[in-house]
Amino acid sequence: MTAYVIGQITVKDPAKWEEYRSRVPGTLAPWGAELVLRGTRAKVLSGKHPHTDTVVIRFPDPESALKWHNSAAYQELVPLRTQAAEVDLISYESDS
């Protein structure tokens, strides 16, 4: 079962955010993950959505997503992420 990690992001410090973004892809490879989308909000079509940016990462399975998030390589980036942006990360399972 494929898993996706979706991040909803509001950037606080653009320079630190760029540094963080540049370092994340190196943490994904050991888990067979693929960066599917990095995007900036164009328009909220319905409801309320406070964040300005979104990231979507595909993993081969939910366990890989969790192991990536808990890995030393990714956890090393969390303090930089916290300084750079407000980020909500959610994992989803997909059977399609």
Taking 90 as the threshold, does the pLDDT of residue 64 lie above it? yes
- Distance, in Å, from the CA atom of 53 to the CA atom of 42, rounded to the nearest integer, reads 9
Q: What is the pLDDT of residues 48-61, one digit of tens each?
A: 999 999 999 999 99
The residues spanned by each domain of the chain are: 2-42+60-94
pLDDT classification of 73: cutoffs 50, 70, 90:
very high
Q: Which residue has the tokens 């959505």?
A: 49
Q: Does the predicted model carry a pTM greater than 0.75?
A: yes
Model confidence pLDDT, tens digit, residues 3-52: 999 999 999 999 999 999 999 999 999 999 999 999 998 899 999 999 99
* The CATH number fitting domain 2-42+60-94, selected from 3.30.70.100, 3.40.190.10, 3.50.50.60, 3.60.21.10: 3.30.70.100
Three-state SS at 31: helix
Say what the alpha-carbon torsion angle 4, 5, 6, 9 is, to the nearest 10 degrees. -160
